[in-house]
Structure 1
């Protein structure tokens, strides 16, 4: 049941009716042309307070205003600076505010205009902004027909239109959606606005469905993303067919096929479904992939990219090759900050020159400025096989030579 509480007095209407009655008695039987009834003036209230309870008697929502004009014939109230609260199981869950509000049919529909703000309460606050919101309390639904924006401390999410089902806490973003993320932004920083600058991560998708209570989300494709770096280089790009994930658990699953490109490093990677844990800044996948970094080709099954440790790990079936050479191992690791490489488990290095084959359980290496890797086995055993063609002089048996490092 909706309860309306108002205070104040209607302006002029009762006084006009009283004067008309006195005039009629004084005139007696005199005939006069009837005058058109004056348009009823709206009631002006010093305050407006609308409340709705649920079936169990708990508060469902309320709306307040310091001043409102009520038109009886149209059952319409124009409110100034309205504020309200949405409740979930009787507990406040959202705060609402706007510059103006129109209450139609005593609360059947509420139209909020001008700097509309819907703030989610709780441990992970979220703010939804819009120029206008059409709120249907009876349906527990809100509609935003243009320019909805949702922001938190590190992200901004925008779309063409939006629907918010209050009882399910389901936010639906319609049209092209755009997620901008600043992973290094401090919680104490000013709110994200037009002056914040370019985001580090910028992802565009199709329609998004996001449950604000559980954090579960899905987005239709195509998914196109960019990651910018501080230096003035071309951004890394990402393409996927769709995505799903959970904002509260801190991950997004990129649906296959997934492609990542880094023009500055002349690198690309193609693979299957991958998971981006944005809180840990880690990209992982159990699926097969292939990639290219300069002249080096890398294939394998399963990978983990740990940005905080500048580390790439090929989990199994590691296969690296470049012109004239090929290395296979059970696992590989690459620290791109220190340019260190490590191959472990049944390592086999084949060189076209002399059909050389080198086998070991572990090979360490470094990536040179020319994009080639040099491997060695400090403290380990290496078995090398090579073919010497006729006419070559292998050298005397009594003249030992130091073995050169393995150039991969």
Structure 2
């Protein structure tokens, strides 16, 4: 009997001990779950209908962004927001409106970065800027759009890898795979670096660039240079250093180091040495300066003018030459000299006219010389 009681007491003690261990294990598991939950809550703070804003020491706002929902990281500097909309401020006044469907936001008190498909609208002129990353640095007055810049303005559409908008001077510096589509006149610019001066209405580049002119969506002329300036208001393209313009209508190429291309008036002018090449007729003219009427296909050259007809090795020099590209005729004045190889001949006089490609040249003495004129006709031409 006593042994039975002792066994029962031992069994009860064992059961109580086992029960205590089980309770302790369950408590530990629950504590672990609660700790993990608390850590998860601490690292992911979710808020609905939030406003993110930052101001300077004077209380002037730098930015204000409202979002439908924001999920904050533990440091509360980074957040993922849904449907963010807001403004970027300069001198306490809004200069840009921004919006996106979804964005990752980073802010450090002095700048804000939004990542996603971001749209920024310039309140001052309605320009629309888009990109995959936007950074606003209010202390530097600069808005940076990275990973694909697209801009739409009433005068021009722009695309590049990156754009830096200096908001106070209203200057945009573009870099990487640039395509600028000027709306009026219809031009397309392509290069690796471009500066857009919004107030001055100019597009400048200090790097090689190509410029195409369009009519009825077809390329009519093509220019290139190491440096360029497009005056959007005056509609003048200035090309410098290794400048080249190819005119499709006349199959002519103009080379020089300073070419001014008036798109509206359809003229070209060169204040420095110029070379004009007509590849179809194999005629080349050079001069110290010159002008060209593109539609009329007339070039007016002055200063040490030289002309060469490659087909027949004919050569012309004069102080001034007017060249009609469509007919290949010319009018030369001042110290005119003409030479040809077949048949060998040379002559000089104050004035001359003719065609280099066919070796038909008339030289005369002008009014002071009493109209002395000589017709040169190559052998076999009149047979």
TM-score by structure 1 length? 0.62
* Structure 1 contact 355–387 (Cα < 8 Å) conserved: no
Whether the 8 Å contact between 2:64 and 2:88 is mirrored in structure 1 is: no
Structure 1 equivalent of residue 371 of structure 2? 383
Give the equivalent residue in structure 1 for 2:120: 118
Q: Which residue of 1 aligns with 2:282?
A: 295
Residue 68 (structure 2) pairs with residue 83 (structure 1): no
The residue number in structure 2 matching 1:50 is: 53
Alpha carbons of structure 1 residues 184 and 341: separation in structure 2 relative to 1, 3 Å: farther
Alpha carbons of 1:384 and 1:82: their partners in 2 closer, same or farther (altered >3 Å)?
farther
| Per-residue deviation, 1:204 | 2.7
More strand per residue: 1 or 2?
2
Aligned position for 1:208: 194
Q: Deviations over 1:330-365 (max 9, x none)?
A: 3536486xx6977475374746576555644x97x8
Shift of 1:304: 3.1
Q: CA separation of 1:261/1:106 partners in 2, compared to 1, >3 Å: closer, same or farther?
A: closer
Q: Given the superposition, is the C-alpha separation of residues 109 and 80 from structure 1 closer, same or farther in structure 2, using an over 3 Å criterion?
A: farther
Q: Which residue of 2 aligns with 1:156?
A: 157
Mapped contact 2:81–2:103 kept (Cα < 8 A): yes
2: CA distance, partners of 1:356 / 1:224: 43
Q: 2:258 aligns with which of 257, 265, 273?
A: 273
1:103/1:109 contact within 8 Å kept: no
Does 1:260 pair with 2:245?
Answer: yes
In 2, the alpha carbon distance for the partners of 1:272 and 1:333 equals 21
For structure 1, the residue ranges without an aligned partner over 5 or more in a row are 1-29, 186-200, 389-408
On the 8 A contact 2:363/2:374 being kept in 1, the answer is no
Superposed CA deviations along residues 377-397 of structure 1, whole A, max 9, x for unmatched, are 9xx897234499xxxxxxxxx
Q: Flag structure 2 segments of 5+ consecutive residues without an equivalent.
A: 1-22, 377-383
Aligned partner of residue 221 in structure 1, secondary structure: coil
Q: Hey, what's the Cα distance between the residues in 2 that align with 1:205 and 1:79?
A: 36
- Cα distance change, pair 92–334 in 1 and its aligned pair in 2 (3 A): farther
Among residues 322, 328, 333, which one is paired with 1:332 in the alignment?
322
Per-residue deviation, 1:291? 1.8
Q: Tell me if the contact between 2:260 and 2:269 (Cα under 8 Å) persists in the aligned partners.
A: yes
Cα deviation digits, residues 291-342 of structure 1 (max 9, x gap): 2212332222223345577654435444445344636343536486xx6977
1:128 aligns with 129
How many pairs are equivalent?
Answer: 333
Contact 1:107-1:137 within 8 A present in 2 as well: no
SS at match of 1:272: strand
| CA distance in 1 between partners of 2:122 and 2:113 (Å) | 19
Q: Is the 8 A contact 1:130 1:144 kept in 2?
A: yes
Give the secondary structure class of the aligned counterpart of 2:272. Answer: strand
TM-score, with length taken from structure 2 = 0.65
What is the aligned-residue RMSD (CA, Å)?
4.6
Partners of 1:222 and 1:240 within 8 A in 2: yes
Cα deviation 1:106-142 (Å, max 9, x = unaligned): 755434344422333446x543221332334455444
| 1:112–1:298 CA distance, 2 compared to 1 (3 A) | same
- Within 5 Å, give how 1:173-252 maps onto structure 2: 173-184=174-185, 201-215=187-201, 218-227=204-213, 236-244=221-229, 250-252=235-237
Counterpart Cα distance in 2 of 1:232 and 1:64: 45
What residue number does 1:193 align with?
none
